Amino acid sequence: GLAASLLPETHSGDAKGRATKGAALALKARVLLYAASDLYNTTVFPGYSNPELIGYTSGNRADRWTAAKNAAKAVIDLGLYSLYKAEPAPTDSVAQNLAELFIAQNTEEDIFIKYFTTNQRQMYGIVTGPNGYHNWGTNAPIQEMVDSYEMKDGSKFDWNNPAHASLPYANREPRFYATVLYEGAVWKPRPADVQNVDPVGIIQVGKWERWDEESQSVKIHYGVDTRQSTVENWNGSYTGYYLRKGLDPTVDAQYFYATVPWRWMRYAEVLLNYAEACIELGGADLQQGLDALNLVRKRAGMPPRVTNDQAEARVFVRHERRIELAFEEHRFFDVRRWVIGPEVYKPIKVADVTYKMDPVTKITATVPTIVPKDFEVWSWNDKAYFFPILRGEMSKNSKLIQNPGY
């Protein structure tokens, strides 16, 4: 649109980080993708008095998907962006490549990012990191998210598979290791006051059953990254996991602020936007969508998706967005535009991690038993597909019509 025609392709110097032609076109592509989605093209609120205010009541939905496809293609055709390390070398750690992407100052994948200086007091590190590093651990993956990562061969993880259940963090896809800190994950050196407990820097979210000779009973010892930690028992994750994505391991977040940029828009999203629009159009466009999706999977070290079935392809692209764009502020909106709230907002599970003691030998296992356990009960209300118009705004203008359910 007009903004794209007026903005430069790149910025430098003090203008670095400002909007560019590509950013304007990428935003247009995202908006048009949303506009073509189920929330605005199906009857979610059949009794609502003004359906024209919350969705389309006329026009052709295929035209909307075509507009979304063309908008994403316009970003691709700029030729300015590409996936970071799009074709991993045989000797590469793909997980390390992906971890680097989210802490690098600049990559060829960046379309619109926010830069930070230490004076801006970026608190992502201390808010997100484990409490065994004197961080807070408030932004943590839940079990359902962890389970959604595939095995490295592209098959689904399954708790009913004994091999998976016995070693749930083994042989998972690279994006799992780039995104999640889990029991036994090697992270970074501990702070000085924790070195005596863990000199290596391995995540401890489990508990150990150990025989106590003096009391002749089993005592429970908790890992330093649990909420029963000897380091900090008032912080920490409730889920048995921590988020790695976007954490700079070279920064001691307890004392220092990071300068890790926040990526509002990156090329992988554009490819997935294009893929989704093509898949929803179906027919001759479906393979184009899969081709774009498979570029993202190739970079992630994953096998390609193959199908001629539109419904299956839709499952593929929705899954890919969940994994590739995890914790980048997309899932909240994807759940709503796809109208899948009831499927997603269910009672959540977390990981119970226990190194069990053999009651006969009194020897504690070196491999933990990991079991998903119920944690919180969530429920869905359809009115949450839209935010309410604030009461203060409603009181200013009697002609405003409130969103459904409020």
Q: What is the pTM of this model?
A: 0.96
How does residue 121 score in pLDDT terms, banded at 50, 70 and 90?
Answer: confident
- What pLDDT score does 88 carry? 94
- What pLDDT score does 373 carry? 97
What is the average per-residue pLDDT within 7-24?
95
What is the average per-residue pLDDT within 68-78?
99
Residues 307-364 have pLDDT tens digits of 999 999 999 999 999 999 999 999 999 999 999 999 999 999 999 999 999 999 999 9
- Cβ 28 vs Cβ 243: under 8 Å: no
- How far is 64 from 61, CA to CA, in rounded Å? 5
**Mean pLDDT across the chain:** 97
Residues 306-317 have pLDDT tens digits of 999 999 999 999
Among 343, 339, 336, 348, smallest CA distance to 378 is for 348
What is the average per-residue pLDDT within 50-55?
97
The residue assigned the tokens 């016995």 is 166
What is the average per-residue pLDDT within 178-184?
98
| Helix, strand, coil fractions of the chain, as percent rounded to 5 | 35, 10, 50
- How far is 296 from 330, CA to CA, in rounded Å? 16
Residues 212-266 have pLDDT tens digits of 999 999 999 999 999 999 999 999 999 999 999 999 999 999 999 999 999 999 9
Phi/psi of residue 277, each to 5°? -65, -45
- How far is 191 from 6, CA to CA, in rounded Å? 50
| In the chain, where the domains are located | 2-92+264-329, 94-103+115-204+223-261
Q: In percent, how much of the chain has pLDDT > 70? A: 100
Hey, what CATH topology would domain 2-92+264-329 get?
1.25.40
- How far is 223 from 242, CA to CA, in rounded Å? 14
What is the average per-residue pLDDT within 115-144?
94
- What pLDDT score does 120 carry? 86
Q: Which residues contact 42 (CB under 8 A, 6 or more apart)?
A: 55, 339
- How far is 213 from 200, CA to CA, in rounded Å? 28
What is the average per-residue pLDDT within 18-36?
98
- How far is 333 from 1, CA to CA, in rounded Å? 24
- How far is 317 from 103, CA to CA, in rounded Å? 25
Q: How many CA atoms lie within 13 A of 150 on its CB side?
A: 20
